[in-house]
Structure 1
């Protein structure tokens, strides 16, 4: 089975390959093709993968190419993890937003809109190429903003594109662990959009154990989200929010922390990863060792500003292992082998959430089999959550409309309608600022 990884020179690709190395069952991935526009980055990642595979007799064969059609031809699965504009683009997203006093995080608020505006046209072009060159392939999208990009691609690929994210998986794992349960045996009632969802229940043997957690302040305050949001707020909500909702519930504090930071997250990663790729230009560099060292630092500093604002302290060691690669592997296994499973995924709504139309991509538990991912029926969201979901989905739709029409006015509307942008004039200045630093937004007229 052939897996094509778009963004194959990306830093997190070895996580995916590492998961593949542990799969020895029949019907597994035997060939991995890395595609990237940057040949030097491809070379660096290929070296890391070669060291990972050392001593593994049935390791999937790895090749690399800068030709998209060559990479896609014959693919059974396509994993999309591109970053349009690179980490320099992410750093600019943050900088322009903060200059206007609003959040520039890459998937939330102004930064997420800017990232979406330059990513959607590229993602749609990829989707059209997949439909033409590899029509039977399943596309697994991790490109951010994941829900928005998955919806854009679904307009060309239908249900054959499925978005994944490790945030709900990590959240469910932490809650189960605190409750003394096996995460693999728990049913997680999670509903929302990507980076905008809530755990409303966690059932073990048919019994919802979340009320027990919410009723115990000591237990509730013992893990990441309890520290991040505070036990009183979680008890008021009656649910456990995705960590990215910290940017909505504590927006002023988040903007202040980002503004006061020595470097924004994007600038930190840009400089950190530049060091890794520069090191890989040395023929004698120990590729896997350098990558492991860089990854550990990356994971340990994840959402550092938010945790500092909340006084949450350092991340727990158990939360430093990522997880999206495990979701990707489980998804591929379920489809390729008809190994039916349940995963939290980004898929078209159909009739799952009544407040959204059938084509809206949402993030919910799905039953997965050889025919793809099927969203599970869920209870309605409370009004406060429905309002936020509908508001952000409306913004995503304006981003899609701006990408399709090239309308600057529609792009301004997308920024102005976002809950974390507090003025139409700010929205106009944001569009001016982003078009000045991003060549990929030159299409907005």
Structure 2
């Protein structure tokens, strides 16, 4: 089996490679290819991968390339995690709206729209290359905004594109841990879009609902991230547990103030990763140690602005072997070995959320086997959640059309329709700010 990683010089590639080392026999891996437009970044990460292999006492040969056709030719699976415009672009995504008092968050806010406008054309090229040179391959998409990118690429590859995110499964594991139960023994009624989802109940083998009891227990809520972030009063008002990214909707103004006081996430990561990639990592053992130290600083500050806005001083709960690489491996394993495992994924709705059409990409529990993910029917959801999902799906689709056509009118429409953007004039100012500071956007939307 050939597996290709697009974005092979990315900082989180060692997580994927480590997971592959643990599963190479089960998956029947014979070839791993890293593709990136920046060979120096791939070289730096390659030393980290060598360090992982030495530490585990096993080998999984890989090669690097800057030729996309070579990378995907005959692949069975393609993992994609790219950042068009790199972290310099993310800083601009966040800074431009913040200058106008609007949250610029890179996936859920206007920053996510700008990120998508420059990412979707590049990802469409990847999908078209796969269609021509690896027509039977599965594309496992981690590239953000994951749901929006997945929906855009399904126009080219159909259901062979699966979007993944570790945020829903992470929340479910944390909930199970607080309940003192094995997550594999529970059913999680989760629904929504990527970074816009809710857990409406948890059920055990008897079918008994368990979430109300958890929401009533302040001590239990204080033991996991989402409980501390949103607080018991608001969670009981919702009667659901929101995905952590919904903090940016429910507490937008508070988050803007917190970022202005402490700096953006993008600026922190830009400085951190510049230093990491600039250092000498020729020795595999030293390269691995350096990467791990850098990763620890990265992970502990995840969503720090939301915690600050919520008055929480602690660090992010770091779970080992539980990131998006684990989600990707679970998808591949389920397809290759027909395990029919239940995973929360981004895929075409079919009839999972009845208020959306069948091709809308949603994030819901799916049964995954050899034919890919089959979404489970979620049924009726609270009106406010359905309304927000519908609005954001319209924003997503307008953004996709803008990205594929280069329409300034549609780009501004997408921004203006976003719930976090207060007016049409503000949307125009945000778009103009992006176009001034991002050459690739100025070229597309000339």
- TM > 0.5 between the two? yes
Alpha-carbon distance in structure 1 between the residues aligned to 2:284 and 2:33: 25
Give the C-alpha shift of residue 280 in structure 1: 3.3
Alpha-carbon distance in structure 2 between the residues aligned to 1:100 and 1:320: 38
Worse-matched range after superposition: 151-160 or 201-210 = 201-210
Which residue in the other structure is 2:231 paired with? Answer: 230
Give the C-alpha shift of residue 56 in structure 1: 4.6
Q: Tell me the alpha carbon deviations over residues 201-243 of structure 1, each in whole angstroms, 9 at most, x when there is no partner.
A: 1122132221210122221232111110010000010110000
Give the C-alpha shift of residue 436 in structure 1: 1.1
Which residue in the other structure is 1:277 paired with? Answer: 277
Which residue in the other structure is 2:138 paired with? Answer: 138
Does the CA contact (< 8 Å) of 2:304 and 2:316 recur in 1?
A: no
TM-score normalised by structure 1 residue count = 0.97
Alpha-carbon distance in structure 1 between the residues aligned to 2:319 and 2:286: 26
Which residue in the other structure is 2:440 paired with? Answer: 440
Does the CA contact (< 8 Å) of 1:364 and 1:376 recur in 2?
A: yes
Which residue in the other structure is 1:215 paired with? Answer: 216
Q: How many positions carry a matched residue from both structures? A: 444
Q: Is 1:165 matched up with 2:168?
A: no
Q: Is 1:287 matched up with 2:287?
A: yes
Give the C-alpha shift of residue 404 in structure 1: 2.1
Alpha-carbon distance in structure 1 between the residues aligned to 2:109 and 2:282: 39
Alpha-carbon distance in structure 2 between the residues aligned to 1:56 and 1:74: 29
Alpha-carbon distance in structure 1 between the residues aligned to 2:225 and 2:417: 30
Which residue in the other structure is 1:3 paired with? Answer: 3
Q: Is 1:249 matched up with 2:268?
A: no
1:23 partner SS? helix
Alpha-carbon spacing, 1:293–1:101, altered in 2? closer, same or farther (3 Å) = same
2:78 partner SS? strand
Give the C-alpha shift of residue 44 in structure 1: 0.6
Give the C-alpha shift of residue 264 in structure 1: 1.0
1:22 partner SS? helix
Give the C-alpha shift of residue 97 in structure 1: 1.2
Which residue in the other structure is 2:351 paired with? Answer: 351
Q: Is 1:103 matched up with 2:103?
A: yes
Which residue in the other structure is 1:197 paired with? Answer: 197
Q: Which runs of 5+ in 1 are unaligned?
A: none
Q: Tell me the alpha carbon deviations over residues 78-137 of structure 1, each in whole angstroms, 9 at most, x when there is no partner.
A: 001010000000011111111111011110111111001111111111111111110010
Worse-matched range after superposition: 214-223 or 299-308 = 214-223
Alpha-carbon spacing, 1:136–1:207, altered in 2? closer, same or farther (3 Å) = same
Worse-matched range after superposition: 289-298 or 431-440 = 431-440
- 5 Å-filtered alignment, 1:40-439, equals 40-54=40-54, 56=56, 58-205=58-205, 206-261=207-262, 263-280=263-280, 286-315=286-315, 317-319=317-319, 322-439=322-439
Alpha-carbon distance in structure 1 between the residues aligned to 2:315 and 2:257: 21
Q: Which runs of 5+ in 2 are unaligned?
A: none
Does the CA contact (< 8 Å) of 2:301 and 2:316 recur in 1?
A: no
Does the CA contact (< 8 Å) of 2:4 and 2:71 recur in 1?
A: yes
Give the C-alpha shift of residue 191 in structure 1: 0.1
Alpha-carbon distance in structure 1 between the residues aligned to 2:444 and 2:145: 20
Alpha-carbon distance in structure 2 between the residues aligned to 1:105 and 1:417: 16
Does the CA contact (< 8 Å) of 2:49 and 2:284 recur in 1?
A: no
Worse-matched range after superposition: 376-385 or 292-301 = 376-385
1:280 partner SS? coil
Alpha-carbon distance in structure 2 between the residues aligned to 1:158 and 1:284: 40
1:354 partner SS? coil
Which residue in the other structure is 2:34 paired with? Answer: 34
Q: Tell me the alpha carbon deviations over residues 300-350 of structure 1, each in whole angstroms, 9 at most, x when there is no partner.
A: 000011101112232365546651111100100110111220100000111
Q: CA RMSD in A?
A: 1.5
Alpha-carbon distance in structure 1 between the residues aligned to 2:216 and 2:193: 27
Does the CA contact (< 8 Å) of 1:142 and 1:163 recur in 2?
A: yes
Give the C-alpha shift of residue 417 in structure 1: 0.3
Alpha-carbon spacing, 1:55–1:264, altered in 2? closer, same or farther (3 Å) = closer
Give the C-alpha shift of residue 21 in structure 1: 1.4
Alpha-carbon spacing, 1:377–1:235, altered in 2? closer, same or farther (3 Å) = same
